[in-house]
């Protein structure tokens, strides 16, 4: 957590060209055709981090215990974070159907997202966290 009180999911936007998949030297990443989500083959993944470097939002991360890459797989097409957000009344997360717009536009590194959320929660005082 970058700022106290600002927990948020860091989600893959499923870029049309999937730079993370193209960059993986071990072919450990693939696309779930039903959800367009990137899935990680744990058996093939070495945790090298090439996918993190290639991702415009730096979404993949290395699990601290397994040293394997983790990427949100959209809960097999039923993302629980969206449900919780809607049920809680925060309405910050929603499913967006793939359309004609560029999905990379939605990719943001965690620090950007945390800063925006912290500013909404704490106002200008949030600057002290960064």
Domain chopping of the chain, boundaries: 19-129
Question: Is the CA virtual torsion 93, 99, 104, 105 positive or negative?
Answer: negative
Identify the pLDDT of residue 47: 97
Helices vs strands, H then E, count in the chain: 4, 4
Nearest CA-CA partner of 52 in 101, 102, 10: 10
Indicate whether 28 pLDDT > 80: yes
Name the more confident of 15 and 43.
43
pLDDT in tens, 81-106: 889 888 988 777 777 776 776 666 56
CATH topology of domain 19-129: Alpha-Beta Plaits (3.30.70)
Residues 44 and 35 sit within 8 Å (Cβ to Cβ): no
Name the β-bridge partners of 64. Answer: none
Identify the pLDDT of residue 6: 63
pLDDT in tens, 59-79: 898 999 999 999 988 898 898
């Amino acid at each position: 957590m970058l700022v106290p009180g600002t927990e948020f999911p860091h989600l893959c936007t499923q870029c049309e060209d999937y730079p993370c998949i193209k960059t993986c030297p071990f072919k450990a990443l693939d696309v779930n055709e039903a959800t367009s989500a990137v899935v990680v083959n744990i058996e093939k993944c070495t945790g090298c981090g090439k996918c993190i470097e290639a991702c415009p939002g730096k979404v993949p991360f290395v699990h601290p215990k397994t040293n394997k890459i983790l990427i949100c797989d959209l809960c097999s097409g039923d993302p629980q974070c969206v449900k919780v957000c809607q049920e809680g009344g925060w309405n910050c997360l929603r499913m967006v159907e793939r359309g004609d717009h560029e999905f990379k536009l939605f990719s943001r590194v965690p620090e950007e997202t945390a800063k925006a959320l912290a500013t909404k929660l704490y106002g200008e005082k949030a600057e002290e966290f960064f």
